[in-house]
């Protein structure tokens, strides 16, 4: 049970044998809240059968998770979970072509070349992005997480009397979501070519920014296949602190103003200017590196995560980056059970991307 297994872009820790397809629960445990989505297979797609968001009060994560899962009927005994932040990394590496089993063995022997962690302190896995290509080189996605982070997450879940099928990374869950959702429903300006990893003049670069409370994850895809990942340590908390400092209010009041600016929107966004500029600077560095490395322009920036709900942020980022920017609602690609209010669900859609990707694992 110490091995990591790759499946559907999955950096996983296998705990139990595969089971029959049944409703799956994705549980995204963040810094300030827990998010949950339950899906069941429907035709060639999925149906959302339940969802919820529970704030974490006083650092009591277990209490928030229990409150969230208790709303499900029947209860979810083995939710799919993820982690992110310092102590977890993703790399994209070109290696001589070999089969997946040999790639894993080879990578385990040379992992210290790619990750700044002692090999005995991490769980790691890799996935071949272009297995069908006939080229001599293959592109490999490699992921690693410190054992203490994975074990801590497992202890939390098991301490609540639940089972754990696997632990993955937040950004890998988003990758899984991209692959599972009908590509025709991903917002692009033009049709993407076949998914064979061949970069050419018709290739499409799309950036997805998941803005969390303390950390934002940037993923850039080529024809919807991930080719770049980076954690940016700027999140919604930076916006809240800027509002509090500029407007002379407490953090609680600043958070409320950020979420419900009403007639003060212009003043709120002006207060966030320094945080926005820092974020823009980091995005430009990443975009410049990506374009230089792949010679492919970025067509669009899609925002998800709690920070994506800051009113006016897409327009400001669009102005600075000179790039189309939009808040993405991936839930629109799925059926929604009739008992669920679509209006309320879609209102919180940017928060549910990671949970959705987790629930899409079989």
Is the preceding omega at residue 74 within 30 degrees of 0, hence cis? yes
Question: Which residue would you say has higher pLDDT here, 314 or 262?
Answer: 314
* pLDDT value at 282 more than 90: yes
Among the residue ranges 162-171, 204-213, 301-310, the one predicted with the least confidence is: 162-171
pLDDT at position 263 is 85
The end-to-end CA distance of the chain, in Å, is: 19
The continuous run of DSSP H or E covering 20 comes out as none
Burial group, residue 161, by CB count within 10 angstroms (0-12, 13-18, 19+):
exposed
* pLDDT value at 197 more than 50: no
* pLDDT value at 33 more than 90: yes
Distance, in Å, from the CA atom of 254 to the CA atom of 242, rounded to the nearest integer, reads 9
Question: Residue 342 in 3-state DSSP?
Answer: helix
Say if CB 359 and CB 37 are below 8 A apart: yes
Distance, in Å, from the CA atom of 351 to the CA atom of 54, rounded to the nearest integer, reads 12
The continuous run of DSSP H or E covering 51 comes out as strand 45-55
* pLDDT value at 140 more than 90: no
pLDDT at position 2 is 33
| Mean pLDDT of the region 108-115 | 83
pLDDT interval class at 186 (50, 70, 90): low
| Selection from 80, 99, 294, 331 nearest residue 207 by Cα | 294
pLDDT interval class at 165 (50, 70, 90): confident
Longest dimension (CA), the chain: 61
pLDDT tens digits, one per residue of 218-257 = 999 988 888 999 999 999 999 999 999 999 999 989 888 8
Look up the CATH number of domain 1-187+328-362: 3.30.420.40
What strands lie across the sheet with 325-327, from one edge to the other?
Answer: 225-232, 216-222, 205-211, 298-304, 325-327
Retrieve residue 92's tokens: 């994209």
Mean pLDDT of the chain: 84
Say if CB 264 and CB 301 are below 8 A apart: no
pLDDT interval class at 180 (50, 70, 90): confident
| % of the chain at pLDDT higher than 90 | 49
Class of domain 188-327: alpha beta
Q: Comparing 1-187+328-362 with 188-327, is the CATH topology the same?
A: yes
Neighbours of 101 (CB within 10 A): 8
172: left (phi over 0), alpha (psi -120 to 50) or beta: alpha
* pLDDT value at 47 more than 70: yes
Retrieve residue 171's tokens: 């950004």
* pLDDT value at 201 more than 90: no
| Mean pLDDT of the region 156-179 | 88
At residue 312, φ and ψ (nearest 5 deg) are 95, -10
Taking the C-alpha atoms of 327, 332, 336 and 339 in order, what is their torsion angle to the nearest 10 degrees? Answer: 40
Q: Which residues contact 147 (CB under 8 A, 6 or more apart)?
A: 121, 122, 123
* pLDDT value at 291 more than 60: yes
pLDDT at position 223 is 81
| % of the chain at pLDDT higher than 70 | 88
Retrieve residue 134's tokens: 């006939």
* pLDDT value at 207 more than 50: yes
pLDDT at position 194 is 38
Q: Where are the domains of the chain?
A: 1-187+328-362, 188-327
Distance, in Å, from the CA atom of 163 to the CA atom of 129, rounded to the nearest integer, reads 30
pLDDT at position 188 is 54
From residue 310, give the alpha-carbon distance in Å to each of 50, 187, 235, 297, 348. 25, 21, 11, 26, 12
| Mean pLDDT of the region 102-128 | 85
Q: Which residues contact 122 (CB under 8 A, 6 or more apart)?
A: 111, 115, 144, 145, 146, 147
At residue 206, φ and ψ (nearest 5 deg) are -125, 130
Neighbours of 362 (CB within 10 A): 13
Question: Which residue would you say has higher pLDDT here, 113 or 346?
Answer: 346
* pLDDT value at 5 more than 70: no
Q: How far is CA 103 from the centre of its chain?
A: 25
* pLDDT value at 142 more than 60: yes
Task: List the alpha helices (DSSP H) in 111-188.
Answer: 147-159, 170-180
| Mean pLDDT of the region 56-85 | 90
Place of tokens 């070999």: 98
Question: Which residue would you say has higher pLDDT here, 181 or 63?
Answer: 63
């Amino acid at each position: 049970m110490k091995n990591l297994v790759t499946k559907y872009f999955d950096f996983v820790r296998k705990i139990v044998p595969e089971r029959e397809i049944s409703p799956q629960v994705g549980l995204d445990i963040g810094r300030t809240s827990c998010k949950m989505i339950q899906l069941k297979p429907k035709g060639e797609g999925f149906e959302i059968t339940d969802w919820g968001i529970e704030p974490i009060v006083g650092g009591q994560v277990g209490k928030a998770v229990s409150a969230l899962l208790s709303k499900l009927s029947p209860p979810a005994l083995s939710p799919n979970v993820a982690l992110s932040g310092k102590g977890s990394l993703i790399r994209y590496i070109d290696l001589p072509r070999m089969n997946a089993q040999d790639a894993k063995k080879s990578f385990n022997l040379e992992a210290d070349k790619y990750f700044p962690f002692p090999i005995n302190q991490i769980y790691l896995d890799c996935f071949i992005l272009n297995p069908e290509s006939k080229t001599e080189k293959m592109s490999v996605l490699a992921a690693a997480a410190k054992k203490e982070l994975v074990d801590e997450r497992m202890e939390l879940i098991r301490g609540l009397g639940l089972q754990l099928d696997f632990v993955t990374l937040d950004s890998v869950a988003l990758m899984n979501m991209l692959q599972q959702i009908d590509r025709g429903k991903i917002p692009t300006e033009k049709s993407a070519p076949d998914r064979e990893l061949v970069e050419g003049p018709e290739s499409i670069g799309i950036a997805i920014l998941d803005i969390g409370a303390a950390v934002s994850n940037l993923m850039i895809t080529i024809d919807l296949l991930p080719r770049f990942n980076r954690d940016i340590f700027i999140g919604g908390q930076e916006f809240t602190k800027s509002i509090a400092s500029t407007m002379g209010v407490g953090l609680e009041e600043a958070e409320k103003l950020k979420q419900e600016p009403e007639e003060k929107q212009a003043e709120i966004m002006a207060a966030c200017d320094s945080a926005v500029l820092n974020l823009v600077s980091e995005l430009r560095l990443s975009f410049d590196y990506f374009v230089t490395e792949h010679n492919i322009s970025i067509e669009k920036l899609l925002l998800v995560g709690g920070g994506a709900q800051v009113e006016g942020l897409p327009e400001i980022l669009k102005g600075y980056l000179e790039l189309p920017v939009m808040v993405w609602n991936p839930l629109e690609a799925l059926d929604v059970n009739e008992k669920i209010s679509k209006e309320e669900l879609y209102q919180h859609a940017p928060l549910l991307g990671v949970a959705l990707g987790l629930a899409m694992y079989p």
